[in-house]
Amino acid sequence: MVILISPLQKEKTEQGGNTDDGPVWTNFKITPEAEYFISDNFSAGLGLGYSLYKKKTESTNSETINKTKTFTISPFVKKYFALGEHAYFFGKAQADFGFGKDIDEYKSGTVTTSVEEHQSVFRIGVIPGFRYNITDKFGIEAGIGFFGFSNTVNTSGSGNNEKKDINSSFQLSVIPNSLSLGIRYTIN
């Protein structure tokens, strides 16, 4: 199981003696995985994931909430390289196929306006990481980045009013939000 939780983050800005509270972010992701070893150092598996991203911005008379919920299916293969008796470095080739909703909500006084977009996600790449086996059954695993291609399509409206926003990128990231931590249990 891979779990990535970024607790509440808050931004504050001070300028000329005035303090402005910035947006508050919440980011949560959980992806249980099943992995089958084809040989001692090579495995294949599947992950099923859920993620929630929320950004809340408040001002004197208004509030904006951006929320994205995504479900993913992630087949993968891993190659392990022993670093000692219990420690391993691995390269994980993974493809993510996802769908979800992106909701933007604007509140001003008693009026609330909401815009909803349907989202599809495709991502393929390599995740380097480390695994340490505490016992024959339990281990700790950390993915430390992502190197690959990502494509997200947000669709709103329908028929002649349909609007698509497509974001494609090549990524090379070793930043805190690309860190994943997990606990592994092995069934023999």
Give the tokens for residue 117: 């977009």
Average of per-residue pLDDT values in the chain: 85
Domain boundaries, the chain: 2-185
**What angle (nearest 5°) sits at the alpha carbon of residue 142, between those of residues 137 and 144?**
160
Check residue 58 and give its pLDDT: 83
Q: What is the model's pTM?
A: 0.78
Check residue 48 and give its pLDDT: 94
Give the Cα separation of 113 and 95 in Å (integer). Answer: 35
Check residue 21 and give its pLDDT: 66
From the list 120, 179, 177, 176, the residue with the least C-alpha distance to 150 is 120
Check residue 17 and give its pLDDT: 54
Give the Cα separation of 3 and 169 in Å (integer). Answer: 24
Q: Which amino acid is at 139?
A: G
CATH topology of domain 2-185: Porin (2.40.160)
pLDDT tens track for 57-81: 887 788 889 999 999 999 999 999 9
Greater model confidence, 155 or 61: 155
